[in-house]
Amino acid sequence: MHILKLIFKNSFRHKLRTFLTILGVTVAILAFGLLRTVVSAWYAGVEASSATRLVTRNSVSLVFPLPLSYKEKIRQIEGVKGVSYGTWFGGIYIDEKNFFANYSMEPRTYLAMYPEIIIQEDQWNVFLRDRKGAAAGKKLAERYGWKIGDVITLKGTIFPGNWDFVLDAIYKGRDDTVDETAFFFHWDYLNETLKKAGRGWTDKVGWFLIEIEDPDIAAEVSLRIDKNFKNSLAETLTETEKAFQLSFISMTEAIVIAIRLVSFVIIFIIMAVVANTMAMTARERIGEYAIFKTLGFGSFHIAGLILGESLFVTMMGATLGILLTFPAAAIFGKELSQYFPIFNVARETIVLDIIAALVVAFVAALFPAWRAIHIRIADGLRRVG
């Protein structure tokens, strides 16, 4: 006969109560895990950004372009290893609700800076030679059932008209932190078309992407670039890719904070629920704890029985919750892939789940254990009859 067996048997004395408590913990841990995953999905772009990449944009706002002629000037700045450029296209595929990132860029130089984007060599070669060629992420292609060679029409918003592209390449991410829902095509195609139509934005780009030699010099190089274009027609703002990504998020930071807060509120609520169960349990067993003490068992044993039961119930629920988080996140990720290109359950989320469950178990056991230890044996025994 072991203490463990006793804890196990005690846990199932009130089957319904134990079942409901475990269910509560399962749901709480599942909700907590999903909310944390939403938060990390929000920051996925930031997490995936590289410390050796800078982004230069118009200092006024992202909607104002920069002249392509800046490219050579930037390249000559000390510390700069490579320069590329892109322009946000913002086209709509069939319907406005089909949102995905789509932009034009100079493929050779751009993708040279993104080793995490992987394209098969034959597809890559076709894409480079095809003026109207485009590449899409694997998840995006799957979402709309696109195959290589398909013609994809986007309706321009910034640049009006229907734009046809040929899907020449489907890229894969090097690992699961890479966004596989983007769509990009040749900047040259955009520029030539605009030129032919005699519209604005010709020989202009939305941003420059800059590779630097060493992440430590990011601040200096950024300053140097911006200084170089000071007092010119279009002043620049250069920042790390991470800061650039963060500037998108900061707008919605309040929501992220709210989600974080709610995730902890859930843990707090389940703590109250488990604490209530443990308080009821320990109250019913005060007489039994008195018998254990009478027989010579110490505070350590009594606390062990109560904490053990609290841990057992909480960990059962937490384990179920964690196991359910993965399929639930997969379903969520699929449904929400437009908004959250990356929706992976992070290892930190699981660690946080476990820590939260442990804290819940300990806190819930604290007061009942303290009471059971401190009640006088003679008083405890009087409760039995």
Q: Does 384 bind another protein (CB under 8 A)?
A: yes
Residues 97-126 close enough to bind another protein by CB under 8 A: none
- Among residues 297 and 367, whose Cβ is nearest to another protein? 297
State the binding string over 5-44 for another protein (x if CB under 8 A, else -).
-x--xx--x-------------------------------
- Nearest CA among 215, 181, 296, 221 for reference residue 56: 221
DSSP per-residue string spanning 30-48: HHHHHHHHHHHHHTHHHHH
Which of 125-133, 144-152, 284-292, 320-328 is the region at the interface with another protein (rule: CB under 8 A)? 284-292
Torsions phi, psi of 8, nearest 5? -60, -50
The rounded distance, in Å, linking the Cα atoms of 5 and 14 is 16
- Among residues 289 and 332, whose Cβ is nearest to another protein? 289
Which of 131-139, 164-172, 184-192, 376-384 is the region at the interface with another protein (rule: CB under 8 A)? 376-384
DSSP character at residue 98: -
Among the listed residues 293, 304, 306, 345, the single contact to another protein using CB under 8 A: 293
Smallest gap from Cβ 369 to another protein, in A, equals: 17
Q: Collect all residues with Cβ–Cβ distance below 8 Å to 366 and sequence separation of at least 6.
A: none
Smallest gap from Cβ 9 to another protein, in A, equals: 4
State the binding string over 294-313 for another protein (x if CB under 8 A, else -).
xxxxx---------------
Contact 212, 80 (CB under 8 A): yes
- Among residues 234 and 381, whose Cβ is nearest to another protein? 381
Among the listed residues 47, 211, 226, 288, the single contact to another protein using CB under 8 A: 288
The rounded distance, in Å, linking the Cα atoms of 169 and 119 is 7
Contact 318, 354 (CB under 8 A): yes
Q: Collect all residues with Cβ–Cβ distance below 8 Å to 26 and sequence separation of at least 6.
A: 317, 318, 320, 321, 324
Q: Does 287 bind another protein (CB under 8 A)?
A: yes
Which of 38-46, 100-108, 220-228, 290-298 is the region at the interface with another protein (rule: CB under 8 A)? 290-298
Q: Does 385 bind another protein (CB under 8 A)?
A: yes
- Among residues 62 and 381, whose Cβ is nearest to another protein? 381
The helix, strand and coil proportions of the chain, stated in percent and rounded to the nearest 5, come to 55, 15, 25
Contacts 24+ apart (CB under 8 A), 373-376: 373/299, 373/302, 373/303, 375/286, 375/289, 375/290
- Nearest CA among 381, 377, 370, 302 for reference residue 7: 302
- Tell me the residue type at 47: E
State the binding string over 171-200 for another protein (x if CB under 8 A, else -).
------------------------------
- Among residues 113 and 302, whose Cβ is nearest to another protein? 302
- Among residues 1 and 233, whose Cβ is nearest to another protein? 1
Interacting residues with another protein (CB under 8 A) = 1, 6, 9-10, 13, 287-288, 291-298, 376-378, 381, 384-385
